[in-house]
Amino acid sequence: MRDDADPRASTIDAVLRSFDALAPMLGRLLADAAISGEHAMHLVVMDPDSDPSTPFDDAILVERSFGDAASWQADYAGYARAKTRLAWREQVSLRTLFAQHPERLRDDDIRVEGAVRSGRWIVGASGAQAWYDHAIATSAIALFDAATEQAEKSGS
């Protein structure tokens, strides 16, 4: 249930509606063991209205797991958070960071892509092959943009 007193309520609603729209696509992708050996996906969405200096944990807007998280052998939520934390710190997609700014990496930073920054959004994904994690995060952002624009146009 939405907390209308929370100024982020409409953004959270847009993200949750987008997750619901994304779920059937993820179901198809994650069913393929070549894409996701554990049929797993975890997404971390940063609050697009948070200042980049906001501590990471305070700036997380929403997280959601897809698939049977109780059966996962790996900590995909932890990996998604590590990817997202790095993208949040550097304010850039990991694909770009790794290719164009490797000097900004620290010794303990994750070295797998799967967090995307586009416009005001940063989304991290983990559970599939890294290139699918990147694609899923990108798809999620496109849906978030569409859902927030729809909400603004419809006044809800």
At residue 154, the pLDDT reads: 86
- Asked if pLDDT for residue 156 goes beyond 80, the answer is no
Quote the number of domains for the chain: 1
Alpha helices per DSSP H over 3-155: 9-30, 56-59, 76-90, 94-100, 130-154
Average predicted confidence (pLDDT) for the chain = 95
Measured distance CA(102)–CA(35) in Å, rounded: 27
- Asked if pLDDT for residue 34 goes beyond 90, the answer is yes
Helix (H, G, I), strand (E, B) or coil at 126: strand
CA dist list (Å): 23 to 8, 82, 101, 139, 143:
22, 23, 33, 11, 12
- CATH assignment of the domain containing 21: 3.30.450.150
Evaluate whether residue 1 is within a structural domain. no
Over residues 72-111, the pLDDT tens digits come to 999 999 999 999 999 999 999 999 999 999 999 999 999 9
Global pTM?
0.94
Evaluate whether residue 3 is within a structural domain. no
Q: How confident is the model at residue 30 (pLDDT cuts 50, 70, 90)?
A: very high
Which residues form the domain of 50?
9-154
Evaluate whether residue 4 is within a structural domain. no
Evaluate whether residue 2 is within a structural domain. no
